[in-house]
Chain A
Amino acid sequence: MSVELWIALLAGALGTYLIRLLPLLWMQRRLRQTREREGSESMPAWLAVLGPMMIAAVLGVSLVPRVPDTAGWVATLVGLIATLLTWRRTRSLGLPVIAGVATFGAVIVAVRLVLG
């Protein structure tokens, strides 16, 4: 890899880090100022709503199966239902994921067997 390419890599890495870091420093400063002024911290309403929306958006993006054929989509749907049902019973993070992945895999294999 040439020196120019290493510089490009480092610039991309530093820029990505700053994109993650600088908003934190800005927000921490803002929270400090609000606390000093009003006695309690407050986050802008739009930001408090945007957080859960970003997670929902990441969920939407991740829903597309790696192989988006019939088996992939059916398995995604059934896998999500299995995840949801397990979450309702256990209210935990890990077990629903395990149940979802296992169901997803089983449905992929089953649908492909049926469809030939």
Chain B
Amino acid sequence: MTSPRSETSTNATHGPPGVLRGIREAIPLLGGYIPVAVSFGLVSVQAGFGVLETLAISTLIYAGASQFLFVGMVASGAPLWLVVAMTLLINLRHVVYAPNLAAWLTPSRWWPWLMHGLTDQVFALAHTRLPQLPERQRVGWFLGAALLAWLSWIAGSLLGAVAGEWLTARWPLLGEVMPFALPALFLVLVVPRFTSPRWALALTVCVAAALAFTLNGLANVGIPLAAGLGAFCFFTLRSPRLPGRSR
């Protein structure tokens, strides 16, 4: 893996091409994606969907929580308009992701298509890495990272649909341990942003609120709510007593 602090200036002339770099840096995402995708594949088949249908859901919708909701609601006989509405409602948090990356996106016709791959995790990675990369590597980097994440999600879903039951029975510990790659990665992405007491407090409140929401069964709505709460803390902490008022 690369060092975010030291490489900015050297990357323009050295280092692997953007696509390879993106693939390499997205590898930690697999630890979280594959076990969850395997679970989705298994749940989808158990809910009555075929293998191809499961793959179609993972390929086209490509948004973890809403996919679980989609198959669960369909299996329970919910009206289809409600299924679609709830799917979109859960994914509505993605609305703030692309605008946050826009300033670092170089002119390219690829970007609109690449937005299909803008998941929570890819956003978190891209928000940290895109500003550090030379401009000419950014499209390639995003393509590599997003493609690896997308394909691993599809492959995991296929694995879950075909052999999920056997896999979870055979290696239960693996399915429990590998998802820790996600909080570990997010921690590494968040920690460098603790640049002042103001940021530290707002980010800590945000993490704690998101954890509390999740423990109360509100994981998806908890992401935008906790982020809003953290931002609220940040903007209300304008007290002159606090050092480090800069962003």
Chain A interface (Cβ < 8 Å from any Cβ of B):
1, 4-5, 7-13, 15-17, 19-21, 23-28, 31, 41, 43, 45-67, 72, 75-76, 79-80, 83-84, 87, 90-97, 100-101, 104-105, 108-109
Closest-CB distance, A65 to chain B (whole angstroms): 7
Chain B interface (Cβ < 8 Å from any Cβ of A):
1-6, 24-25, 27-28, 31-32, 35, 49-50, 53, 56-57, 60-63, 66, 70, 74, 80-81, 83-84, 87-88, 91-103, 105, 111-112, 115-116, 118, 120-121, 123-124, 127-128, 173, 175-191, 193, 199, 202-203, 206-211, 213-215, 219, 222-224, 226-228, 230-231, 234-235, 247
What separation, in Å, do the CA atoms of A9 and B91 have in the docked complex? 14
The residue among B56, B61, B92 with the most chain A CB atoms within 10 A of its own CB is B61
B95 — which chain A residues lie within 8 A by C-beta? 19, 23
The residue among B27, B183, B191, B228 with the most chain A CB atoms within 10 A of its own CB is B183
Contact A12 B87 (CB under 8 A): yes
A66 — which chain B residues lie within 8 A by C-beta? 35, 175-176, 179
Chain B contact residues: over half helix, strand or loop, or mixed? helix
What separation, in Å, do the CA atoms of A96 and B4 have in the docked complex? 13
Closest-CB distance, B132 to chain A (whole angstroms): 11
What separation, in Å, do the CA atoms of A16 and B239 have in the docked complex? 40
B88 — which chain A residues lie within 8 A by C-beta? 12, 15-16, 19
Closest-CB distance, A49 to chain B (whole angstroms): 5
Contact A83 B187 (CB under 8 A): yes
Query: Residue of B at shortest CB range from A11?
Result: B84
Contact B184 A53 (CB under 8 A): no
Contact B177 A16 (CB under 8 A): no
Chain A contact residues: over half helix, strand or loop, or mixed? helix
A67 — which chain B residues lie within 8 A by C-beta? 176
Contact A60 B87 (CB under 8 A): no
A4 — which chain B residues lie within 8 A by C-beta? 80
Contact A24 B31 (CB under 8 A): no
Contact B53 A101 (CB under 8 A): no
Q: Contacts A21-B112, A90-B3: A53 and B60 contacting too (C-beta < 8 A)?
A: no
Contact A109 B230 (CB under 8 A): no
Closest-CB distance, B117 to chain A (whole angstroms): 9
What separation, in Å, do the CA atoms of A16 and B58 have in the docked complex? 12
Q: Contacts A93-B4, A94-B27, A97-B188: A60 and B62 contacting too (C-beta < 8 A)?
A: no
Can you name 13 extra interface pairs (CB under 8 A) apart from A50-B96, A54-B227, A105-B180? A10-B60, A13-B62, A16-B62, A21-B112, A43-B99, A43-B102, A50-B228, A57-B206, A60-B208, A76-B180, A94-B25, A96-B187, A108-B173
Q: Contacts A19-B91, A53-B231, A64-B214: A58 and B177 contacting too (C-beta < 8 A)?
A: no
